[in-house]
Every structure is written in structure tokens, then in C-alpha cells.
A = this chain, B = another copy of it.
Amino acid sequence: MSKKYDNRCPVGRTINAIGDGWSVLILRDLFLNEACKFQDFQQSLPKIVPSTLSHRLKRLEADNLIEREVYEEHPIRVQYKLTKKGKSLGPIMLALKKWGEQNP
């Protein structure tokens, strides 16, 4: 977890955990779709650079907000899901969505 913002404040702590806007949109996709592959995020977020997407996924995984599932198929299939901790961000996601709907 990055400690850019003051961790003693609960708001700062949450921002440190969530990260930047891309991370919020990755989490949004997982609230909407349950499981996503790397390519699903690329389709949903066409402006994100692959290395940025990869970095954000690793950070969210390191912070235990998402988990990576690997299926031993041919070719190997990797998908991402919210963890229990990630799902606990639901009220924040809903508040962000509601404000955006009220401010078109």
C-alpha cells in the first residue's frame, strides 16, 4: 500500500488503499461483472496503457482488494475478482455512482 497520504486520517487511509482513478474504474468493472480478464479491462478502459493496467492490478492484489484466479487450461486463463475486503468498498462505489448520476 502506498503511504502518499496521511494514514492517521481514515479518509487518507482509504485513498491510499484505493489508489488513483484507474484503480477505482478497475474496481467498478469488478462490481459490475464479478470476474474480468485483462482484455476485459482493456476493452472497458480503452485509454489505459497496458503497463499501467498491469501495475494497478498488482497493487490492488497486493492490497488484498482483488484476487487473481488462474485456470490451467490451454491457453491458461487468468481472471480477477473482488475479495471480501474489495467488496466492502461497495458503499463508496455507490456514492460515487450516485453523485455522477446527479451531476450529468
Instruction: Report which A residues bind B (CB closer than 8 A).
Output: 4-6, 9-17, 20-22, 24-25, 28, 45, 47, 85, 88-89, 91-104
Q: Binding site of A, secondary structure by majority: helix, strand, loop or mixed?
A: helix
Structural contact, A21 and B9, CB atoms closer than 8 A: no
Contacts of A5 in B (CB 8 A): 21-22, 25
**A92 to B46 alpha-carbon distance, docked (Å):** 26
Residues of B contacting A88 with CB < 8 Å?
99, 102-103
Which residues of B have CB within 8 Å of A91? 95, 98-99
Q: Determine if B28 and A93 form an interchain contact, defined as CB atoms under 8 angstroms apart.
A: no
Q: Which residues of B contact A9 (CB under 8 A)?
A: 25, 28, 100
Are B13 and A28 in contact (CB-based, < 8 A)? no
Is A15 within 8 A of B99, CB to CB?
A: no
